[in-house]
Chain A
Amino acid sequence: MVNGDEGNPASYMDRSVMEGSPHQVVEGLLIGAYAIQATEGIIYTRSDYSIAVRRLNKALQQARERGFLGKNIMGSDFSIDVRVHEGLESFINGESTALMLSVEGKRPMPKAQPPHSCDNGLWGRPTLLNNAETWATVPAIIKRGAGWYNSMGPSNAHGCKVWAISGNIKYNGLMELDMNTTFRDVIDGMCGGIAKKKELKVIHAGGVTGGFLPPELADTKTDYESLLNAGVIMGQASFAAYDNSACVIDLAKFSIGFNEGETCGKCTPCRIGLTIIKNKLDDISEGRGKLEDIDKLQALCEEINVTSLCGLGETAVHAVLTGIKYFRKEYERHIVEQICDAAKCTGLYRYLVKEEECVACGACIKPCPTGAITGGTRKEAAHIDMDLCINCNACYQACNFLAIL
């Protein structure tokens, strides 16, 4: 089987290879199928990858026409046919056991292993499953030999990996990297550095299940082990480099929010724990945080990490754990000083009237939905009651004299 399901918002390497070089995927799958003498092949992908689906089907049709698929392939006794299975869009479908359940028409929820898929997989039969990207490398390895492939990368992680790179950098996109490459090599070298003369603040490695690295760790290599040692994971092999305009709490909120929405809900800690964490992060970003929350968050995250069944629950908390590990100060500043330096956490905004600029025109009074603004007429400067203010930004937009900040 080919796993061509990508749920991480920032990853699209499987999609690219399925769209750009579908034959390569099919060829890889066929080689694998031949090796294990499989009789049925399935390419699993998302239904919203419509271009990939169309091209894969075309590639399969062409392969059938040329006799590379079907009965007695190229005159041998080996027969296999391959079909494309379009799953619905769900992050958890990418997990191997959930993916197989989805093909069986059941609710995709990861299963405990063992039994492993290679003994007892789809429909209870032994199943070999790899990512589209992995299968696509197979033809090249067969052609050029294992020695060639092994010559790349560090001794504990051969070959290379396609990364999806984004963030506040000059050039972004997919890049295939030798695993010896460091983040700094990528950011400063291939990506042309941080855009607009700003500075690197945080590397978000591993997508929504990954974590955050400070600039000091930019020399980390992009192989599995080095990443793990730094407290992050390769995850969906995407990373984003952000400048000072990024807030670590805001980024964590995004990751946790995504995972909270995508968890299948099977395991108690993941189902309930992630919601609790999301609420806590909301509290912090909206000024209701308490200092002890940081330690509690950390403890909760560790618990979810050890008690969850599948990779989602296990890794979903990286965003918070690494955030607290490397950026604790930023958490504290949000809680104690109620300031978000990156001005991302709108909940911490304070609206103030600059009395000297205010012309008491009264324009801001009407738009305020909670009646928090008093004065503002008859030469008296306006005043905003912070207890009533809900940070809706209406007064800011209404003021013609930039008197509100």
Chain B
Amino acid sequence: MFFESLVVSAVLFAVGVAGVLLRRNAIVMFMCIELMLNAVNLSFVAISRYVGIEGQLFVIFVMTVAAAEAAVGLAIIISIFRHYESVDVRNFRLLRW
């Protein structure tokens, strides 16, 4: 199950990347980032079985950072929505090239 878990993790990460490229809704792009973080967690856990407990400890830190990132990101999305009445990334031109 070791190699198979790494493959599942790779598939989930690739799907997350495809989702970020495919969607325009900022909230769904955020969810795809969470999916990518989770794929990395899965490979950490799979490797920790043979390398040591440290892999699982890093997963705890990744989860904490993901929670903080979700809170701050959603606050940014709310304040953008107040300004533009939309969460479509096409409307956010200010920081683009």
Chain A bound to chain B: no
Interface residues of A, Cβ cutoff 8 Å to B: none
Binding site for A on B (CB under 8 A): none
